[in-house]
A and B are shown apart, each in its own frame.
Chain A
Amino acid sequence: MGKKRLPSPTSEDIERIAETLINTDDFDEIQDKDSFNLAFDEYLGSNDALVKNKDVRNATFKEVQRLKPTVESKEVFTKAKGKDLRRDRRSDAKEIVSTQEEYTKKGAGKVDLKGYDTKPRRPKKDVFNKIGRIKNKIVYVKAIRITVRGKRVNRFRDAKGRFAKVN
């Protein structure tokens, strides 16, 4: 039995997804189809079936290009046989090339293309992933390391920076 095709995305779906992407911090880093794919995968997750739909991906890319005309359709990194954009374009590459042709020829795994870097990936948004208590209010908190009387200890703070108890 053949695989059933997913329903076509509506313009509303595309707007919703593009809007989610625009609101992320990574929107500024989208410069071509590769960096778009990375942001798309990271922020929209792999669970949503609609996101796996190629039509959705392509339509969202067009919407992103409309909002940010400087985004190119090229896939420089993929063309240079790069596997994971999160680990590449790193500064520790032994050789840095200046042209795309050279980059494609030598391969993304060995060389770095000058002026084509992405920032190291930040941890995901769910930093405030623990539950704590401030007086009588239940809040989401994140773990931090601070120094108390010369000793490094774990503490928890909520989004407003207030210290919270987690037990």
Chain B
Amino acid sequence: MTLRSYRMDEISEKRDNRRENIEEYYYRLDVQYEIVKQLKNRECAILVPSWVEDYNSKRKSVRNLKVHSPQYLQQAIKRLNFNNKKNYEMYNLYGSVGVYKNGVPFTTLQLSNRDTTDWKRNHYKSMIGYDFFLDIDAGSSTDVKFALKSAVMICDYLTVFECPYSLRFSGRGFHIIIPYNYFKYNDFDPSNENSIYKKYYKIAKYLHDKFSEMIDLKIYDSRRVFKLAYSLSHYRQQSYICWPFESMHELDNFEIEDYTLSALKTKKVRGRGVWIFNENGNTKRLLQEIKGVEDRK
């Protein structure tokens, strides 16, 4: 297989075609490295956006991909099918919220040869971590300002308790993620009453009731995937970059137009990584606060 990649200086400013821009972006080595870093021991998924209604397109979504090097990512993004004539057929790149001991066991892209039944049933047994993931979801681009306000309030609240978190734009909202190593929960069996998903749901519900109803509470299950930082989030009119923020200053000056693919396509991302705010903090005080409020009820 011929591997193809672009260096930063090869990016043409003149090409304006959306599909070509997407292709160029995903074939950039710096982008590939940043995406692969996040997929270590996680499942990769390539899914059609929810606004695509064509069932035949939906069926091309793939889950359970193992992507542990740029070469694997390049194979996977071949699935993104840039040469497809259907303009609406665009794919988002996701990673699992759960982290597995040895990643997912599937390395073949011969999808018809894979039998994932056993994995679907027993995946949680090889899980070693599951990030706390808060999805602040705006229904439309006009509601993003409310999602922004929600994100700012929640981030300020987490900072008060010196709670570590990362924050990124998701295309139509914001994702706040607390890495799993800041929690001591390790019950990954979804059928258990004290599973990590139920514990995370309680935290999300608390923040939902206190700050914003835009927080999606239906996402706490063992197979959940989220959009990867630096991946693209496609909508009918525009593609946005899921951009992780490095400082609250970026959030203060947030304008959705600044995060379109065309606005950011030449911005370097190598080594930028995903910033953790309050990295040396812990979740102890936040959990104590939530428990205290629940007890008072």
Residues of chain A touching chain B, judged by Cβ–Cβ distance below 8 Å, are 46-47, 49, 52, 129, 131, 133, 136-140
Least CB separation from A46: chain B residue: B53
Residues in A neighbouring B212, C-beta threshold 8 A: 137-139
Which segment of B69-77, B124-132, B138-146 sits at the interface?
Answer: B138-146
How long is the Cα–Cα vector from A125 to B134 in the complex, in angstroms? 25
When the two chains form their complex, are residues A137 and B211 in contact, meaning their CB atoms are under 8 A apart?
yes
Interface residues of B in 226-280 (CB under 8 A from A): none
How long is the Cα–Cα vector from A116 to B150 in the complex, in angstroms? 49
Closest CB in chain A relative to B157 CB, distance in Å? 11
When the two chains form their complex, are residues A49 and B213 in contact, meaning their CB atoms are under 8 A apart?
no
Interface residues of B in 32-88 (CB under 8 A from A): 53, 55, 58-59
Task: Given A136-B211, A138-B149, A138-B150, answer yes or no on A131-B58 (Cβ-Cβ < 8 Å).
Answer: no
When the two chains form their complex, are residues B139 and A138 in contact, meaning their CB atoms are under 8 A apart?
no
Task: Given A136-B211, A138-B211, A138-B213, answer yes or no on A131-B138 (Cβ-Cβ < 8 Å).
Answer: yes
How long is the Cα–Cα vector from A29 to B146 in the complex, in angstroms? 38
Offer 17 A-B interface pairs, CB within 8 angstroms, sorted by A. Answer: A46-B53, A47-B53, A49-B59, A52-B55, A131-B138, A131-B139, A131-B146, A136-B153, A137-B213, A138-B146, A138-B149, A138-B150, A138-B211, A138-B212, A138-B214, A139-B212, A139-B213
- In the complex, besides A131-B138, A137-B211, 11 extra interface pairs with C-beta distance below 8 angstroms are A46-B53, A49-B55, A49-B59, A52-B55, A131-B143, A131-B146, A138-B146, A138-B150, A138-B213, A138-B214, A140-B213
B55, B210, B211, B214: the one within 8 Å of A131 (CB)? B214
Closest CB in chain A relative to B287 CB, distance in Å? 22
Residues in B neighbouring A138, C-beta threshold 8 A: 146, 149-150, 211-214
Interface size on B, residues (CB 8 A): 16
When the two chains form their complex, are residues B214 and A137 in contact, meaning their CB atoms are under 8 A apart?
no
How long is the Cα–Cα vector from A92 to B39 in the complex, in angstroms? 62
Residues in A neighbouring B210, C-beta threshold 8 A: 137
Residues of chain B touching chain A, judged by Cβ–Cβ distance below 8 Å, are 53, 55, 58-59, 138-139, 143, 146, 149-150, 153, 210-214
Residues in B neighbouring A140, C-beta threshold 8 A: 213
Residues in B neighbouring A133, C-beta threshold 8 A: 146, 149
Closest CB in chain B relative to A16 CB, distance in Å? 14
Residues in B neighbouring A52, C-beta threshold 8 A: 55
How long is the Cα–Cα vector from A20 to B273 in the complex, in angstroms? 42
How long is the Cα–Cα vector from A140 to B138 in the complex, in angstroms? 11
How long is the Cα–Cα vector from A12 to B146 in the complex, in angstroms? 37
How long is the Cα–Cα vector from A133 to B213 in the complex, in angstroms? 10
How long is the Cα–Cα vector from A140 to B146 in the complex, in angstroms? 11
Residues in A neighbouring B153, C-beta threshold 8 A: 136
Closest CB in chain B relative to A99 CB, distance in Å? 42
Task: Give the interface centre of A129, A136, A138, A139 by most chain B CB atoms within 10 Å.
Answer: A138
Closest CB in chain B relative to A11 CB, distance in Å? 16
When the two chains form their complex, are residues B58 and A49 in contact, meaning their CB atoms are under 8 A apart?
yes
Residues in B neighbouring A131, C-beta threshold 8 A: 138-139, 143, 146, 214
Least CB separation from A159: chain B residue: B213
Closest CB in chain B relative to A7 CB, distance in Å? 11
Residues in A neighbouring B149, C-beta threshold 8 A: 133, 138
Closest CB in chain B relative to A93 CB, distance in Å? 35
Residues in A neighbouring B150, C-beta threshold 8 A: 138
Closest CB in chain A relative to B134 CB, distance in Å? 13
How long is the Cα–Cα vector from A38 to B150 in the complex, in angstroms? 38
Closest CB in chain A relative to B153 CB, distance in Å? 7
Least CB separation from B58: chain A residue: A49
Closest CB in chain B relative to A41 CB, distance in Å? 15
Least CB separation from B59: chain A residue: A49
Least CB separation from B209: chain A residue: A137
Residues in B neighbouring A137, C-beta threshold 8 A: 210-213
Least CB separation from A49: chain B residue: B55
Task: Give the interface centre of B53, B146, B150, B153 by most chain A CB atoms within 10 Å.
Answer: B146
Closest 8 CB pairs of A and B: A138-B212, A131-B146, A49-B55, A131-B143, A138-B150, A139-B213, A138-B146, A140-B213
Closest CB in chain A relative to B63 CB, distance in Å? 15
